[in-house]
Structure 1
Amino acid sequence: MKLKLPRYVMCLLLHLNLFTLSAQVSDREITPDSIIRILKTSSEEFSKLTKEGTEKGIHLLELAENLGEAIGDPYLTILINREKISFFFNNEDTINIEKYLAMNLAIINKLDDNRQLGLYYEDFGVYKHSQEKREEGLAAMIKAEQLLNKYGRVEDAIDVNYNLSIEYLRREKHKLSIIYGKKSLNAIRKAKVKQNRRKNLYLFLAQDYTYLNEYEIAKKYFDTLEIEAPTYDNDPHYKGRLFSGKGFYYEEIGDYKNASLFYKKSSNSFFTYHAQRTKKVTAALILSSQLNLQEEENKRIIIENELKEQQLSNKSYIILLGILIILGLVILSIVQYNISRYKTKINKLLKRSYEELMEANRKVDNALRVKSEFLDSVTHELLTPLNTIKGTTFLLQKEELTKRQINQIKLINVSSDYLLNLITDVIHLNDLEKGMLELKNEEFDLKSLLNNLIDSSLMVNNSNDNKIHRNIDVNIPDIIKGDAVKVSQIFLNIFDNALKFTRNGDIYITILLISKVNHKVQVEFSIRDTGIGMTEKQIHKAFETFHQGSVKINRKYGGTGLGLSIVKKMLKLQGSDIVLESKPTEGTSVVFIIDFDVSKAIEDTDCDDNITDELSTGIHILLVEDNKVNQLITEKIISNYGFCCDSANDGEEAVDMVKKNKYSMILMDIMMPKMDGFEATKHIKIFDEKMPVVALTAISEKLNKEKFTEVGIYTILNKPVDPELLYQTIMKYCDKSTTKSTFL
């Protein structure tokens, strides 16, 4: 214990001394000059190379840093950081060196001060040399010398040229070493500071001139060294370097006796230096270890005291907290129990709701299935008599009729077409809502199609005496690929509305080619009329199903209100939309755009009449139809085209007739008693796989697509059948080369 007493007394006196110094600084106003004085005192304490001096220097440096932060002067902060960097160099603390270098660079960049930047590169170069990164260090030093030579003070040139002289001496570039050494000496003489640098510079110059074989100049610098800087007795490291330089000098001039003497002195001096250095390092490590241990011990004691104090002060709070936790757990248990009961109840309700939902879904599925079956049945029952009506009017048109009879037949055609369009709209709307309609990609002539649609509609619907102005772009390719049927439905719905809601007015039809890129074309359809127009409210509801604006409009103009709803859904199916603009009494404008593929026109080969007659006489058709009236009418249509036709009343009879006779094609109704068309086709395909079977039916194509494909039906014709389409189908599938199903 007695051995430790002097050290503790010493530390106490040191802290008292520092406290007094801090109090003196605090009593006066803190200025940059006072902080600079503290830094100078700290540097002096470090230069003593004693343990007490080192401790005092550290405390003064930290005091200066704290006071500098309070003032906030950036230049003072840079100066303090440079002193810290110097301290860390001596302690080989590379992490803190990099930290303070980065801090200085950040401040200098904000100040945009070239002198401070030069001083930074000087510190950075010294740091890189200490890391053995000599090329980076030399580059930084050269940059520092250039900046300080231009922007620095006289004293700034001392250290940077001093360091460059050392570096070039090591690299054996003695002429450059001499240049920078003389620059440093000149700066010392002018600034009258850092006089202790002279002895090293004289030694560097003496060594440089010795290497350059300029022995007289070298001798001159050795003599100058003895005269101007003889005080080196207490610095064994410098003595070792000096004696080594003199030994080399005498060796070069051939005085080996003196060379040997000085080499020996150099060796002894270096031995003494390293011994002292080892002792200092050991002492520093011991001191550092002791200080660290003492600091850790103090921290431990402080933490223990804080913990004890905290434990005492929080004892009552811990008890209170325990009580609150217990109460909280009790309340949480009660809440959890209630939640559990509630969850059980909810789960039972959810289970019941799920079961009800599943039952509702099952009912909905059944309802949808029944709806589809009902729709097939209803459309079949409606389209079958319509087929009779359409077929009868077609046959009557072939007879010689009076003008009155011709007009009556036209009325029948108009009425049957209206009913057919209504049924078709309902079927299409149902298919669109289910997402069952698919786009076809077939070749057709859009310009001819539109002209035919306009002419046909005018023959039937232009009772309002409207003037039609059509403008169909001639640049539209002759043959394009798309869904001709849906394009026709979209166009006719809009055009028929324009005809219906316009009286003695004008209708402008404009079809323009917008673009043609990479075998794709965009066509804009515009139909504008001068009819009754619509209000904003009517425009918003125009695309709703069964909406016609008002009961008055419905009674006056008729219709179902399905047209625009179907148009919008069909355009959406093709990735397009419709733009509708209208004002009451001013008319309506409808615009939409459809994309098509470009296709090469298919030129129909003109058939020789003799060949057609030859084909007609060799074609034998089997018509399978349970409705006697439809049988009769369809037979007459087929016979009028010059084909032979037999009829079967149901599927069973058709199978028997195919077994006994050779037919070119079979027209098969689907919904029949005894055996339906699907079953009959399946039986026929067993013994005549290549027999072309075409469905002639009123049931939905989309709903039964898989069945048509499965049994091998080539394609379907919807009732009421179009005689021209029936003829084309017969000619197509009765060709001997057609041997496989083409139903899509």
Structure 2
Amino acid sequence: MKSYAYIYALCLLINLSVIPVKAQGSNNQISIDSIRHILKKSSELILGVTDEESESLLGITKEKRDSGIYLLEEVEKLVKNIDDPYLKIEVNRAKIDFLLRKRDTVKIKKYLNSNLEIIKGLKDNRELGLYYEHLGVFKSRLKKHDEKLKAWLKAEDLLRKNGEVKDLIDINYNLCFAYAKNKKWSEVLEHALKSLKAIDQAQVKKNRRGHLNLFLSEAYVNLNKFKKVKNCFNNIEVEKGIYEYTLRFEGRLLSVKGLYYANKRNYKKAAFFYKKSAVAFSSFLDKKTKEISADLTLLSQLNLKEEENKRIKVENKLKESQIKTNKYIILFSSVFIIGLIVLSVAQYRKSKYKSKVNALLSSSNNKLKEANEKVDKALRAKSDFLDSVTHELFTPLTTIKGIVFLLQKEKLTISQKKQLKLISMSSDHLLKLLIDVIHLNNLEKEKFELKHEIFDLKTLLDNLIDFSVDMKGNNNTIHKRIDSDIPENLKGDMLKVSQVFLKILDNALKFTKYGDIDIKVMLESKTEDKAKIKFSIKDTGMGMTKAQIDKAFENFDQGSVKINRKFGGTGLGLSIAKKILELHNSSITIKSKPGKGTKISFKIDFDIPEKSAEENKIFADSRDELQKNINVLLVEDNKVNQLITKKIISDYGFTCDSAYDGKEAVDMVRSNKYSMILMDIMMPKMDGFEATKYIKEYDKKIPIVALTAISEKLNKDKFDEVGIATVLHKPVNPELLYKTIISCS
């Protein structure tokens, strides 16, 4: 049934408003206010609920929409007789909004041109900014995105300089949305922050904060500003009450969370959120489908009722006055009852939905706790497994390298020397692979801390370059430039700096043959206590594609199987270098083109020590009488390793006894006097930690050095607890072993 009473009341309101306009009396201001009131009423009737995604028929009857259109047309007629250019602009703007909803792009142009002519006469830059904002929306409907963006940028400039604070909310929101579609994340960031700032200042349109924070989180993820992403997620969660938290919004939010964890390489969490996002979007589509179906059913029922009312009207035309009265009563009663029913159903569905969501949240929370416990157990198991595997792999490597070391001192034929060299190179390759894997694992678990030691960077780099060129020269020409202004002594982690530099230099040498390697180390800035050094290594090798650059920091990735087979290696070098640089709050930059070489650069901040310190280098091959008085106890459960290590110690001129386990070592210390003890850790009967504890109770001053394959970093607390100050890793370097014995005795 049509709402004739409702339309009649509105028409009466129009007539009452028209009278003062025609009278041209002193009440002209009242008539303008009345027209503005009718204009507002027409917008409410036409638009109904303000849904940013689509116009829902629920709550917008055909009668109300027709009434709103009628009011808008009447206002358009009235405003022609009023000399108020701003009111005319408002009416034209309302007409443009209505036509945009209808997607009638032909008529919109007429009203845009009309507004532009009025604004030119007024010379009002704020109104001009609002005009360009509408023009941008119009161009968006025409799919002219470049023109749309140009119009919105002009609108933003005008409104920022001449408009009110609230004017900046929608224009920056529109720009943010446009740039997000084009994946221009820096611009998204800029305009989202501007819109949020305007909302905070004007304290209006707070319901836009949720979407703006979502745009911000997506921009921060794509710009790798991960620390700020979680703030956006928290803001969205905290401010749920001030905006409509729809399933579609939830789907987008979960999708961004998935992208965030994917970029953080936490693929398990990423998959979890992507799955939840898909469920949310599926639910959203299902809900929309049901709403549209219900709306169509309601519309069909309304049409049937309209036909029935027409028939009743014809049949009862003679009793019009009585029927009209009854009709009004029935109409208002029906509207009231339908309103109650709709409200009750909505309240029931809302309550049911909340109960379901609470149950799901409770279940998800329990599953999350269980998953976290499993992850913690898996990490602990991984750590224990790594220690065991390290020990088992390092033990045979110790045997191989020790035998090679001893055999090299024997008289050998040329063929035997070559074979020993191959064995040594193979064991070195296995050792490097094992160390890289363990090193990467510790970095991922954030087990490393930067050391602060004083060293000469220029001398260190000279030695590293000479060493790498000797090992992997590939007949390349080396161009080396180390800035003479770099301080003689710097303070930092010498080992980790060496690792980063060597891994990048080794890559350049490996992938370049008969080419040029350009090495530059320059002082970028310097203060009294800080020096920023820029390192760059450029080669003329095979180069990389953009896709290969994007994957260069992934573990075990070398671009292709063909490259791996041709050049070898593990594909861990750049991944380890990147993670070490992250410890220094730095990053790595790659520029490359296929066939034109690669340039890799990075920067590191060093401390400048107050006083220069000279490196104390004490090593000698000679054996004097003092060495003969040094008695070492070697505790090693592997017989082969025991024989080799004992032989190395004896060759240096020291006396050496051996024990097969910790219990035997404790008994020998009680019976003999030793200068120091080399203690294996993982042994049967009694391990190295327990044996050290018993020995320290008997003799607190005796130096005990761990000779082991387990991770020093992961077991630092245990070493400190039992009193082991020095740790040597298997396979031990003979020269380092010699230095350690001398320093401890």
Identify if the C-alpha distance between structure 1 residues 517 and 558 changes in structure 2 by more than 3 Å, giving closer, same or farther. same
Among residues 550, 567, 575, which one is paired with 1:565 in the alignment? 575
Q: Does 1:429 align with 2:440?
A: yes
Q: Does structure 2 conserve the Cα–Cα contact (< 8 Å) formed by 1:414 and 1:460?
A: no
| Uncovered stretches (5+) of structure 2, i.e. residues with no partner | 1-24, 27-327
Residue 480 of structure 1 is matched in structure 2 by: 490
The CA deviation at 1:604 is: 5.8
Residue 52 of structure 1 is matched in structure 2 by: none
Among residues 666, 671, 674, which one is paired with 1:660 in the alignment? 671
Residue 439 of structure 1 is matched in structure 2 by: 450
Residue 517 of structure 1 is matched in structure 2 by: 527
The CA deviation at 1:526 is: 1.9
Identify if the C-alpha distance between structure 1 residues 624 and 563 changes in structure 2 by more than 3 Å, giving closer, same or farther. same
Identify if the C-alpha distance between structure 1 residues 322 and 635 changes in structure 2 by more than 3 Å, giving closer, same or farther. farther
Q: Does 1:527 align with 2:537?
A: yes
Q: Does 1:500 align with 2:500?
A: no
CA–CA distance in structure 2, aligned partners of residues 565 and 607 of structure 1: 35
Q: Does 1:692 align with 2:708?
A: no
Residue 644 of structure 2 is matched in structure 1 by: 633
Residue 48 of structure 2 is matched in structure 1 by: none
Among residues 522, 533, 536, which one is paired with 2:546 in the alignment? 536
SS in 2 for 1:561: coil
TM-score under structure 2 normalisation? 0.52
- What is the root-mean-square deviation of aligned Cα atoms in Å? 3.1
The aligned runs of 1:640-655 (5 Å cut-off) are: 640-655=651-666
Identify if the C-alpha distance between structure 1 residues 651 and 437 changes in structure 2 by more than 3 Å, giving closer, same or farther. same
Residue 593 of structure 1 is matched in structure 2 by: 603
SS in 2 for 1:667: strand
Identify if the C-alpha distance between structure 1 residues 538 and 607 changes in structure 2 by more than 3 Å, giving closer, same or farther. closer
Q: Does 1:357 align with 2:365?
A: no
SS in 1 for 2:683: coil
SS in 1 for 2:670: helix
SS in 1 for 2:624: helix
Among residues 670, 676, 679, which one is paired with 2:687 in the alignment? 676
SS in 1 for 2:601: strand
Identify if the C-alpha distance between structure 1 residues 329 and 616 changes in structure 2 by more than 3 Å, giving closer, same or farther. farther
What amino acid maps onto 1:355 in structure 2?
N
CA–CA distance in structure 1, aligned partners of residues 467 and 342 of structure 2: 83
What amino acid maps onto 1:453 in structure 2?
L
The CA deviation at 1:674 is: 1.5
SS in 2 for 1:659: helix
CA–CA distance in structure 2, aligned partners of residues 438 and 365 of structure 1: 22
Identify if the C-alpha distance between structure 1 residues 609 and 714 changes in structure 2 by more than 3 Å, giving closer, same or farther. closer
Identify if the C-alpha distance between structure 1 residues 333 and 678 changes in structure 2 by more than 3 Å, giving closer, same or farther. farther
Identify if the C-alpha distance between structure 1 residues 365 and 479 changes in structure 2 by more than 3 Å, giving closer, same or farther. same
CA–CA distance in structure 2, aligned partners of residues 402 and 356 of structure 1: 67
Identify if the C-alpha distance between structure 1 residues 369 and 390 changes in structure 2 by more than 3 Å, giving closer, same or farther. same
What amino acid maps onto 1:441 in structure 2?
H
The aligned runs of 1:243-322 (5 Å cut-off) are: none
SS in 1 for 2:650: helix
Identify if the C-alpha distance between structure 1 residues 505 and 388 changes in structure 2 by more than 3 Å, giving closer, same or farther. same
Q: Does structure 1 conserve the Cα–Cα contact (< 8 Å) formed by 2:628 and 2:653?
A: yes
CA–CA distance in structure 1, aligned partners of residues 552 and 544 of structure 2: 9
TM-score under structure 1 normalisation? 0.52
Q: Does structure 2 conserve the Cα–Cα contact (< 8 Å) formed by 1:522 and 1:594?
A: yes
| Uncovered stretches (5+) of structure 1, i.e. residues with no partner | 1-25, 28-316, 735-744
CA–CA distance in structure 2, aligned partners of residues 381 and 691 of structure 1: 29
Residue 392 of structure 1 is matched in structure 2 by: 403
Q: Does 1:548 align with 2:582?
A: no
Among residues 582, 585, 589, which one is paired with 1:579 in the alignment? 589
Identify if the C-alpha distance between structure 1 residues 348 and 514 changes in structure 2 by more than 3 Å, giving closer, same or farther. closer
CA–CA distance in structure 1, aligned partners of residues 431 and 519 of structure 2: 26
Identify if the C-alpha distance between structure 1 residues 645 and 476 changes in structure 2 by more than 3 Å, giving closer, same or farther. farther
The CA deviation at 1:567 is: 0.6
SS in 1 for 2:727: strand
Q: Does 1:702 align with 2:716?
A: no
CA–CA distance in structure 2, aligned partners of residues 641 and 475 of structure 1: 43
The CA deviation at 1:601 is: 4.1
Among residues 416, 421, 428, which one is paired with 1:417 in the alignment? 428
1:317-374 deviation per Cα after TM superposition (whole angstroms, max 9, x unaligned): 9xx9999889867765554444444433333333333222222222221111111111
CA–CA distance in structure 2, aligned partners of residues 689 and 416 of structure 1: 38
The CA deviation at 1:514 is: 2.9
Q: Does 1:404 align with 2:415?
A: yes
Larger Rg: 1
The aligned runs of 1:71-86 (5 Å cut-off) are: none
Percent identity, aligned pairs only, is: 64
Among residues 724, 728, 738, which one is paired with 2:739 in the alignment? 728
Identify if the C-alpha distance between structure 1 residues 327 and 605 changes in structure 2 by more than 3 Å, giving closer, same or farther. closer
Q: Does structure 2 conserve the Cα–Cα contact (< 8 Å) formed by 1:667 and 1:696?
A: yes
CA–CA distance in structure 2, aligned partners of residues 608 and 341 of structure 1: 80
Identify if the C-alpha distance between structure 1 residues 342 and 522 changes in structure 2 by more than 3 Å, giving closer, same or farther. closer
Q: Does structure 1 conserve the Cα–Cα contact (< 8 Å) formed by 2:402 and 2:644?
A: yes
The CA deviation at 1:435 is: 1.1
The CA deviation at 1:544 is: 1.6
What amino acid maps onto 2:359 in structure 1?
K
Q: Does structure 2 conserve the Cα–Cα contact (< 8 Å) formed by 1:466 and 1:503?
A: yes
The CA deviation at 1:472 is: 2.7
CA–CA distance in structure 2, aligned partners of residues 328 and 659 of structure 1: 96
SS in 1 for 2:375: helix
Q: Does 1:378 align with 2:404?
A: no
SS in 2 for 1:468: strand
Q: Which runs of 4+ in 1 moved over 6 A?
A: 320-330, 605-612
What amino acid maps onto 1:574 in structure 2?
H
Identify if the C-alpha distance between structure 1 residues 585 and 323 changes in structure 2 by more than 3 Å, giving closer, same or farther. closer
CA–CA distance in structure 1, aligned partners of residues 517 and 620 of structure 2: 42
Identify if the C-alpha distance between structure 1 residues 416 and 663 changes in structure 2 by more than 3 Å, giving closer, same or farther. same
Identify if the C-alpha distance between structure 1 residues 477 and 615 changes in structure 2 by more than 3 Å, giving closer, same or farther. farther
Residue 279 of structure 2 is matched in structure 1 by: none
CA–CA distance in structure 2, aligned partners of residues 730 and 513 of structure 1: 40
Identify if the C-alpha distance between structure 1 residues 326 and 647 changes in structure 2 by more than 3 Å, giving closer, same or farther. farther
CA–CA distance in structure 1, aligned partners of residues 514 and 453 of structure 2: 38
What amino acid maps onto 2:518 in structure 1?
Y
Identify if the C-alpha distance between structure 1 residues 683 and 339 changes in structure 2 by more than 3 Å, giving closer, same or farther. farther
CA–CA distance in structure 2, aligned partners of residues 616 and 624 of structure 1: 20
CA–CA distance in structure 1, aligned partners of residues 559 and 656 of structure 2: 50
CA–CA distance in structure 2, aligned partners of residues 399 and 695 of structure 1: 29
What amino acid maps onto 1:350 in structure 2?
L
Residue 225 of structure 1 is matched in structure 2 by: none
Residue 470 of structure 2 is matched in structure 1 by: 459
Further displaced range: 343-352 or 541-550: 343-352
CA–CA distance in structure 1, aligned partners of residues 649 and 619 of structure 2: 20
SS in 2 for 1:531: coil
